[in-house]
Structure 1
Amino acid sequence: MEFGVLGPLRMTAQRISYVPTAPKQRQLLALLLFNANQVVSTSACIEELWESAPPASALSTLQTYVLQLRRALRGVPHIGSLQDARKTLETRDGGYLLVVRQGELDLHVFERLVSHGRAALDHDDDRTGSRLLGEALDMWTGAALADVQTGPILQSYLTGLEEQRICVQEQRIEADLRLGHHHELLGELSALVTQNPTHENLHAQLMLALYRSGRPAQALTVHRRLRQVLHDELGLEPSPRMRRLHQAVLACDPVLDMPSQARGRLSLDLPARAG
């Protein structure tokens, strides 16, 4: 059995999809998957499905949705009966619990790979860390729950998950910069700064990759565009860290030429100059 939320909603077995087509059932399945192996309260289900205006029949309608999900699960070969489907989608005191085994949910695999990748980085193993974080990012097949309507609870999950995804990308890119892969990163970073026009660290990484690829003028253009967007959209100036990087590029500072050997400090965290 395979479940997926890191892209279109998935519930497959032997390459056959068992995802329901009805929007509310898909929404409920997604909520249960984000809380796999944990009880999701009836009140949380109702809030997600109808927000602050549930119908009078909300509880009975929710029970119908659960029954329909169990009927979908019944079609899975290794489940096969409604009785066994109830063992996969359990009714618990005050809510419901979807049983998901290790390795069945892409979100769990993503989180495990991220944990192992970060542990490798903590032990100065950039090559292994980059590989594991890259494998974690490869679990994504598109925007999370791209084909599911979302209420307030799912939306909060998706916001946090997207922030985590970007953070993992930054960490993997930082490791690759330390490994000297600056030229290979240019396309990816250019796309990321287009998608995240006010994200300073991604811009800093692109500036460094450009500088190390022998393109300092383009690195300065990246800074200029960031400064303009920050000013126009947020009324802000670049951070001191970005200003130090800008000055280092202008001065062709040797500190930019090689990855920092000081662990615990990102290679982009340039020291402030005295005077």
Structure 2
Amino acid sequence: MALLARPNTWVGVDSLAEAVWPERTTAPADALWRHVHDLCRRIPLHDGTSARITSMHGRHRINIADGELDSAVFERLVHDGREALPTDPETAADHFRRAAELWRGKPFTALDSYHGRAETARLTGLRWAALDGLVDAMVALEHTGGSVSLLQALTVEDPKRERTWLRLVEVLTRAGRPVEAEAAFRKASRVLDVPLRRVP
């Protein structure tokens, strides 16, 4: 997990030791090496020919080919969606939708370390960015019904996310659905328990 969080990147022994022994400040080098060696034996070769895990001067790296790791594919789709959004919302929507479909719950939950928690937070933030981008693309394509349904689902998933509520009110208002917009605004105010500022 610690290596997969940073694919194709050299990871020092301190970071790996923190992942394997999160409660310890130090770890025996020979014990860590046994873990790495065991992984090398069990994981199939990279591209069928070269070592999946390589080691050099106390650092280790897992070699991942393009398209092999869901988190890397997910990140690229979000990036490509952002790039396409200003000029090609249809393509952007496809990228964002595919990125969202790759999500399989909270990532790296088994990696109880600072780096694991940081990577989990980063990828979770990217997922919300992808969903926000999907809403933007659907609005640009005038898919109001779909964008409203998605926003409503997101308010259920995270009722305390103010941005989603305000976006829902905005989309409903601009779609000429003032009664629903007002109802969503009032519900958001109750759920969030904070004064909200209406989007013009």
Aligned pair 1:228/2:190, yes or no?
yes
Divergent runs of 4+, >4 A: 74-77, 211-215
Deviation of 1:77 after TM superposition, in Å, equals 9.5
The equivalent of 1:61 in structure 2 is 31
* Secondary structure at 2:60 match in 1: strand
Residue type of the partner of 1:244? R
* Secondary structure at 2:3 match in 1: helix
Deviation of 1:71 after TM superposition, in Å, equals 1.6
Distance 1:70 1:191, change over 3 A: same
Instruction: For residues 114-167 of structure 1, give each alpha carbon's deviation from its aligned partner in whole angstroms, at most 9, with x where no partner exists.
Output: 222211113x21111111121222222333235x25222101110111011101
Residue type of the partner of 1:196? D
The equivalent of 1:34 in structure 2 is 5
Gaps of 5+ in 2: none
Aligned pair 1:178/2:140, yes or no?
yes
Q: Is the CA contact (8 Å cut-off) linking 2:40 and 2:53 kept in structure 1? A: yes
Distance across 1 between alignment mates of 2:98 and 2:157 = 21
* Secondary structure at 1:33 match in 2: coil
The equivalent of 2:55 in structure 1 is 91
The equivalent of 1:152 in structure 2 is 114
Distance across 2 between alignment mates of 1:214 and 1:120 = 28
Deviation of 1:170 after TM superposition, in Å, equals 0.3
Distance across 2 between alignment mates of 1:185 and 1:167 = 15
Normalising by the residue count of structure 1, what TM-score does the alignment of the two structures yield?
Answer: 0.65
**1:188-207 maps to which residues of 2 (within 5 A)?**
188-207=150-169
Normalising by the residue count of structure 2, what TM-score does the alignment of the two structures yield?
Answer: 0.86
Q: Which has the larger radius of gyration?
A: 1
Distance across 2 between alignment mates of 1:42 and 1:118 = 35
Q: Is the CA contact (8 Å cut-off) linking 1:183 and 1:210 kept in structure 2? A: no
Identify which range, 162-171 or 209-218, moves more after superposition: 209-218
RMSD: 2.4
Distance across 1 between alignment mates of 2:47 and 2:108 = 25
Distance across 2 between alignment mates of 1:31 and 1:171 = 29
Distance across 1 between alignment mates of 2:47 and 2:74 = 26
Deviation of 1:43 after TM superposition, in Å, equals 0.4
How many pairs are equivalent? 200
* Secondary structure at 2:85 match in 1: helix
- Alignment identity in percent? 26
The equivalent of 1:142 in structure 2 is 105
Distance across 2 between alignment mates of 1:69 and 1:63 = 10
The equivalent of 2:14 in structure 1 is 43
* Secondary structure at 1:104 match in 2: coil
